[in-house]
Amino acid sequence: MTATVWFNGSLVTETLTLDPSDRGLTLGDGLFETIAVFNGKAVWLADHLDRLLDGAAMMGLPVERQAIEAAVAEVLAQAETPHGILRITLTRGPGLRGLAAEGARPSLLITLIPWVRQTLFTPVRLMTASFRRNETSPVSRLKTLSYADNILAARAAAAAGSDDALFLNKRGHVAATTIANVFILRGSRLSTPRVDDGVLPGIARAKLLAIDGGEERKITPTELSAADAVFLTNSLRLVRPVHVLDGRTLRRNDAAVAGFFDALCRRIAEECGIDPREVDAL
Protein backbone atom coordinates (compact mmCIF):
# COMPACT_ATOMS: atom_id res chain seq x y z
CA MET A 1 0.00 0.00 0.00
CA THR A 2 1.41 3.34 -1.00
CA ALA A 3 0.52 6.90 -0.26
CA THR A 4 -2.27 8.69 -2.07
CA VAL A 5 -1.02 12.12 -3.17
CA TRP A 6 -3.09 15.01 -4.49
CA PHE A 7 -1.42 18.23 -5.60
CA ASN A 8 -2.92 21.42 -7.01
CA GLY A 9 -5.96 19.91 -8.62
CA SER A 10 -5.28 16.27 -9.29
CA LEU A 11 -4.04 12.99 -7.94
CA VAL A 12 -0.39 12.37 -8.73
CA THR A 13 1.76 9.30 -8.51
CA GLU A 14 4.40 9.37 -5.83
CA THR A 15 6.16 12.62 -6.74
CA LEU A 16 5.16 16.24 -7.14
CA THR A 17 5.98 18.60 -9.94
CA LEU A 18 6.87 21.66 -7.93
CA ASP A 19 7.89 25.15 -8.92
CA PRO A 20 11.35 25.70 -7.36
CA SER A 21 10.17 29.08 -6.09
CA ASP A 22 7.29 27.57 -4.10
CA ARG A 23 7.48 29.40 -0.80
CA GLY A 24 6.49 26.30 1.13
CA LEU A 25 9.81 24.79 0.11
CA THR A 26 11.93 27.94 0.14
CA LEU A 27 10.66 29.70 3.28
CA GLY A 28 8.38 27.39 5.27
CA ASP A 29 5.65 29.82 4.20
CA GLY A 30 2.47 27.85 4.77
CA LEU A 31 0.43 25.74 7.15
CA PHE A 32 -0.45 22.11 7.68
CA GLU A 33 -2.84 19.79 9.43
CA THR A 34 -2.38 16.13 10.32
CA ILE A 35 -5.58 14.14 10.67
CA ALA A 36 -6.41 10.56 11.61
CA VAL A 37 -8.57 8.64 9.14
CA PHE A 38 -10.61 5.69 10.36
CA ASN A 39 -13.02 3.78 8.15
CA GLY A 40 -12.37 6.28 5.40
CA LYS A 41 -13.52 9.19 7.56
CA ALA A 42 -11.24 12.07 8.53
CA VAL A 43 -11.55 12.53 12.29
CA TRP A 44 -12.64 16.03 13.40
CA LEU A 45 -12.10 17.32 9.86
CA ALA A 46 -14.27 20.40 10.36
CA ASP A 47 -12.19 21.45 13.39
CA HIS A 48 -8.93 20.95 11.50
CA LEU A 49 -10.25 23.01 8.57
CA ASP A 50 -11.41 25.74 10.95
CA ARG A 51 -7.90 25.97 12.38
CA LEU A 52 -6.26 25.85 8.94
CA LEU A 53 -8.48 28.65 7.65
CA ASP A 54 -7.95 30.77 10.75
CA GLY A 55 -4.20 30.41 10.23
CA ALA A 56 -4.49 31.14 6.51
CA ALA A 57 -6.34 34.38 7.30
CA MET A 58 -3.61 35.40 9.76
CA MET A 59 -0.90 34.69 7.21
CA GLY A 60 -2.77 36.26 4.30
CA LEU A 61 -3.07 32.98 2.37
CA PRO A 62 -6.16 33.12 0.15
CA VAL A 63 -7.86 29.72 0.13
CA GLU A 64 -11.39 28.38 -0.14
CA ARG A 65 -12.69 25.85 2.33
CA GLN A 66 -14.80 24.12 -0.29
CA ALA A 67 -11.77 23.52 -2.50
CA ILE A 68 -9.95 21.82 0.35
CA GLU A 69 -13.00 19.79 1.30
CA ALA A 70 -13.41 18.59 -2.28
CA ALA A 71 -9.74 17.63 -2.52
CA VAL A 72 -9.87 15.75 0.78
CA ALA A 73 -12.96 13.88 -0.41
CA GLU A 74 -11.18 12.93 -3.62
CA VAL A 75 -8.18 11.60 -1.71
CA LEU A 76 -10.32 9.66 0.74
CA ALA A 77 -12.28 8.13 -2.15
CA GLN A 78 -9.02 6.92 -3.73
CA ALA A 79 -7.46 5.58 -0.56
CA GLU A 80 -6.19 2.00 -0.71
CA THR A 81 -6.68 1.55 3.01
CA PRO A 82 -9.58 2.46 5.33
CA HIS A 83 -7.31 3.73 8.10
CA GLY A 84 -4.60 6.27 7.55
CA ILE A 85 -2.99 9.59 8.29
CA LEU A 86 -4.13 12.51 6.18
CA ARG A 87 -1.96 15.57 5.87
CA ILE A 88 -3.11 18.86 4.35
CA THR A 89 -0.26 21.19 3.39
CA LEU A 90 -1.05 24.71 2.19
CA THR A 91 1.72 26.99 0.94
CA ARG A 92 1.82 30.52 -0.43
CA GLY A 93 2.84 28.95 -3.74
CA PRO A 94 5.39 30.14 -6.29
CA GLY A 95 6.53 33.59 -5.32
CA LEU A 96 8.59 36.52 -6.31
CA ARG A 97 11.61 37.32 -4.20
CA GLY A 98 10.87 39.37 -1.09
CA LEU A 99 9.48 38.09 2.19
CA ALA A 100 6.35 40.24 2.02
CA ALA A 101 5.60 39.33 -1.62
CA GLU A 102 2.36 37.60 -2.46
CA GLY A 103 2.42 34.17 -4.08
CA ALA A 104 0.95 33.66 -7.53
CA ARG A 105 -1.53 31.14 -6.12
CA PRO A 106 -1.38 28.95 -3.00
CA SER A 107 -0.25 25.35 -3.43
CA LEU A 108 -2.37 22.65 -1.87
CA LEU A 109 -0.88 19.24 -1.17
CA ILE A 110 -2.87 16.43 0.37
CA THR A 111 -1.31 13.11 1.25
CA LEU A 112 -2.80 10.02 2.81
CA ILE A 113 -0.53 7.30 4.11
CA PRO A 114 -1.65 4.00 5.62
CA TRP A 115 -2.19 4.06 9.37
CA VAL A 116 1.02 3.78 11.31
CA ARG A 117 0.63 2.25 14.76
CA GLN A 118 0.73 5.14 17.18
CA THR A 119 1.34 2.91 20.20
CA LEU A 120 -1.55 4.75 21.81
CA PHE A 121 -1.33 5.59 25.48
CA THR A 122 2.38 4.69 25.62
CA PRO A 123 3.98 6.59 28.52
CA VAL A 124 6.26 9.48 27.57
CA ARG A 125 9.62 10.58 28.98
CA LEU A 126 9.94 14.34 28.55
CA MET A 127 13.00 16.54 28.62
CA THR A 128 12.76 20.31 29.04
CA ALA A 129 14.08 21.98 25.88
CA SER A 130 17.26 24.02 26.27
CA PHE A 131 15.55 27.01 24.64
CA ARG A 132 12.21 28.75 25.00
CA ARG A 133 8.97 28.86 23.07
CA ASN A 134 8.44 32.37 21.68
CA GLU A 135 4.92 33.12 22.83
CA THR A 136 5.28 36.70 21.58
CA SER A 137 5.08 35.41 17.99
CA PRO A 138 1.81 34.45 16.31
CA VAL A 139 3.76 31.53 14.85
CA SER A 140 3.73 29.91 18.31
CA ARG A 141 -0.04 29.51 17.94
CA LEU A 142 -0.11 28.46 14.28
CA LYS A 143 0.68 25.11 12.69
CA THR A 144 3.04 26.63 10.14
CA LEU A 145 5.53 24.80 7.93
CA SER A 146 8.31 26.54 9.89
CA TYR A 147 9.07 23.76 12.33
CA ALA A 148 12.83 24.19 12.83
CA ASP A 149 12.48 25.03 16.55
CA ASN A 150 10.41 21.90 17.13
CA ILE A 151 12.79 19.77 15.08
CA LEU A 152 15.91 20.91 16.91
CA ALA A 153 14.27 20.37 20.30
CA ALA A 154 12.93 16.94 19.29
CA ARG A 155 16.35 15.87 18.00
CA ALA A 156 18.04 16.97 21.22
CA ALA A 157 15.45 15.06 23.28
CA ALA A 158 15.89 11.92 21.19
CA ALA A 159 19.68 12.17 21.47
CA ALA A 160 19.28 12.31 25.25
CA GLY A 161 17.02 9.25 25.30
CA SER A 162 13.77 11.16 25.84
CA ASP A 163 10.62 10.83 23.77
CA ASP A 164 9.80 14.50 23.34
CA ALA A 165 10.87 17.97 24.47
CA LEU A 166 8.86 20.28 26.71
CA PHE A 167 8.97 23.96 25.86
CA LEU A 168 8.72 26.62 28.51
CA ASN A 169 7.89 30.07 27.22
CA LYS A 170 9.93 33.24 27.77
CA ARG A 171 8.02 33.94 31.01
CA GLY A 172 9.10 30.52 32.26
CA HIS A 173 5.64 28.98 32.08
CA VAL A 174 4.79 25.62 30.57
CA ALA A 175 3.87 25.88 26.87
CA ALA A 176 3.76 22.62 24.90
CA THR A 177 5.92 19.80 23.61
CA THR A 178 7.17 19.71 20.01
CA ILE A 179 4.08 17.75 18.94
CA ALA A 180 1.54 17.85 21.74
CA ASN A 181 -0.43 19.93 24.21
CA VAL A 182 0.21 19.47 27.93
CA PHE A 183 -2.41 18.83 30.61
CA ILE A 184 -2.07 18.46 34.35
CA LEU A 185 -4.50 16.82 36.72
CA ARG A 186 -4.69 17.87 40.35
CA GLY A 187 -7.43 16.10 42.26
CA SER A 188 -10.26 16.15 39.73
CA ARG A 189 -9.15 19.49 38.29
CA LEU A 190 -7.79 19.49 34.76
CA SER A 191 -5.62 22.38 33.50
CA THR A 192 -3.74 23.19 30.32
CA PRO A 193 -1.71 26.26 29.26
CA ARG A 194 -3.51 29.10 27.54
CA VAL A 195 -3.05 29.60 23.80
CA ASP A 196 -1.33 32.93 24.46
CA ASP A 197 1.31 31.08 26.46
CA GLY A 198 2.64 30.03 23.03
CA VAL A 199 0.46 27.02 22.41
CA LEU A 200 -1.17 25.56 19.35
CA PRO A 201 -4.94 25.38 19.85
CA GLY A 202 -4.91 21.59 19.59
CA ILE A 203 -7.96 19.76 18.32
CA ALA A 204 -7.71 16.89 20.83
CA ARG A 205 -7.05 19.56 23.48
CA ALA A 206 -10.28 21.35 22.55
CA LYS A 207 -12.28 18.12 22.53
CA LEU A 208 -11.03 17.22 25.98
CA LEU A 209 -11.75 20.71 27.34
CA ALA A 210 -15.27 20.45 25.90
CA ILE A 211 -15.83 17.06 27.54
CA ASP A 212 -14.26 17.75 30.89
CA GLY A 213 -14.42 21.49 31.35
CA GLY A 214 -10.74 21.84 32.18
CA GLU A 215 -9.21 25.22 32.79
CA GLU A 216 -6.89 27.13 30.46
CA ARG A 217 -4.38 28.95 32.65
CA LYS A 218 -0.71 29.66 33.25
CA ILE A 219 1.11 26.58 34.53
CA THR A 220 4.53 26.73 36.18
CA PRO A 221 7.14 23.97 35.85
CA THR A 222 6.87 23.20 39.57
CA GLU A 223 3.18 22.45 39.09
CA LEU A 224 4.18 19.56 36.85
CA SER A 225 6.01 17.92 39.76
CA ALA A 226 3.17 18.68 42.14
CA ALA A 227 0.41 17.38 39.85
CA ASP A 228 -1.29 14.04 40.39
CA ALA A 229 -0.77 13.34 36.70
CA VAL A 230 0.70 15.01 33.61
CA PHE A 231 -0.36 13.99 30.13
CA LEU A 232 -0.14 15.01 26.49
CA THR A 233 -2.75 15.30 23.77
CA ASN A 234 -2.53 15.38 20.01
CA SER A 235 -4.74 14.46 17.09
CA LEU A 236 -3.02 11.18 16.23
CA ARG A 237 -1.80 9.88 19.57
CA LEU A 238 -4.79 11.28 21.45
CA VAL A 239 -3.71 10.95 25.10
CA ARG A 240 -0.38 9.78 26.52
CA PRO A 241 0.67 9.94 30.18
CA VAL A 242 3.99 11.59 31.02
CA HIS A 243 5.92 9.43 33.47
CA VAL A 244 9.33 11.10 33.47
CA LEU A 245 10.43 14.72 33.22
CA ASP A 246 14.15 15.52 33.01
CA GLY A 247 15.01 12.11 34.43
CA ARG A 248 12.73 12.46 37.47
CA THR A 249 9.72 10.21 37.88
CA LEU A 250 6.48 12.16 38.07
CA ARG A 251 3.47 11.31 40.17
CA ARG A 252 0.97 9.43 38.09
CA ASN A 253 -2.65 8.52 37.97
CA ASP A 254 -2.88 6.45 34.83
CA ALA A 255 -6.40 5.33 35.65
CA ALA A 256 -7.68 8.90 35.58
CA VAL A 257 -5.69 9.73 32.44
CA ALA A 258 -7.01 6.56 30.81
CA GLY A 259 -10.48 7.92 31.45
CA PHE A 260 -9.70 10.96 29.28
CA PHE A 261 -8.21 8.71 26.63
CA ASP A 262 -11.30 6.53 26.72
CA ALA A 263 -13.56 9.56 26.33
CA LEU A 264 -11.74 10.69 23.17
CA CYS A 265 -11.66 7.16 21.73
CA ARG A 266 -15.39 6.81 22.25
CA ARG A 267 -16.03 10.15 20.56
CA ILE A 268 -14.08 8.94 17.54
CA ALA A 269 -15.88 5.59 17.55
CA GLU A 270 -19.20 7.46 17.40
CA GLU A 271 -17.95 9.52 14.46
CA CYS A 272 -16.18 6.78 12.48
CA GLY A 273 -17.75 3.51 13.63
CA ILE A 274 -14.47 2.15 14.91
CA ASP A 275 -12.47 2.74 18.08
CA PRO A 276 -8.85 3.92 17.53
CA ARG A 277 -7.73 1.23 19.97
CA GLU A 278 -9.09 -1.44 17.65
CA VAL A 279 -7.33 0.16 14.66
CA ASP A 280 -4.05 0.49 16.49
CA ALA A 281 -4.15 -3.18 17.46
CA LEU A 282 -4.64 -4.35 13.85
One residue of 24, 93, 193, 276 binding its own copies per CB under 8 A = 24
179 forms part of the interface with its own copies (CB under 8 A)? yes
- Binding-site member from 59, 63, 211, 269 for its own copies (CB under 8 A): 59
Sign of CA dihedral 102, 106, 65, 202: negative
**Is 89 one of the binding residues for its own copies (CB under 8 A)?**
yes
Site string for its own copies, 125-144 (x = CB under 8 A): ------xx-x-xxxx--x-x
CB of 246 to its own copies, least distance (A): 17
One residue of 155, 172, 220, 278 binding its own copies per CB under 8 A: 155
List C-alpha distances in Å: 158 to 119, 124, 133: 17, 12, 18
Task: Return the ∠ at Cα 268 (arms to 265 and 274), rounded to 5°.
Answer: 90
- 1 contributes a contact to its own copies by CB under 8 A: no
Could you say whether residue 22 binds its own copies (CB under 8 A)?
yes
How many residues in the shown chain lie near its own copies by CB under 8 A?
58
Q: Is 266 in the site for its own copies (CB under 8 A)?
A: no
Nearest approach, Cβ of residue 239 and its own copies (Å):
19
Q: Which is nearer to its own copies, 47 or 164 (CB)?
A: 164
Q: Which amino acid is at 158?
A: A
Q: How far is the CB of 199 from its own copies (least distance, A)?
A: 15
Q: What are phi and psi of 62, to 5 degrees?
A: -75, 125
Q: Which of 165, 172, 180, 6 is nearest to 77 (CA)?
A: 6
How far apart are alpha carbons 58 and 47 in whole angstroms?
A: 17
Question: Does position 161 bind its own copies by CB under 8 A?
Answer: no
Report if residue 147 touches its own copies, rule: CB under 8 A. yes
Q: Does 256 bind its own copies (CB under 8 A)?
A: no
10 CB-contact burial (10 Å; exposed 0-12 / middle 13-18 / buried 19+): exposed
C-alpha–C-alpha distance, residues 270 and 266, integer Å: 6
Nearest CA-CA partner of 184 in 141, 247, 140, 232: 232
The arrangement of strands across the sheet holding 10-12 comes to 10-12, 4-7, 107-114, 84-91, 30-38, 41-42
Q: Which of residues 25-54 bind its own copies (CB under 8 A)?
A: 25-29, 32
Residue among 87 and 266 whose Cβ is closer to its own copies: 87
Binding site for its own copies (CB under 8 A): 3, 5, 7, 14-22, 24-29, 32, 58-60, 85, 87, 89, 91, 97-100, 109, 111, 113, 116, 131-132, 134, 136-139, 142, 144-152, 154-155, 157-158, 170, 178-179
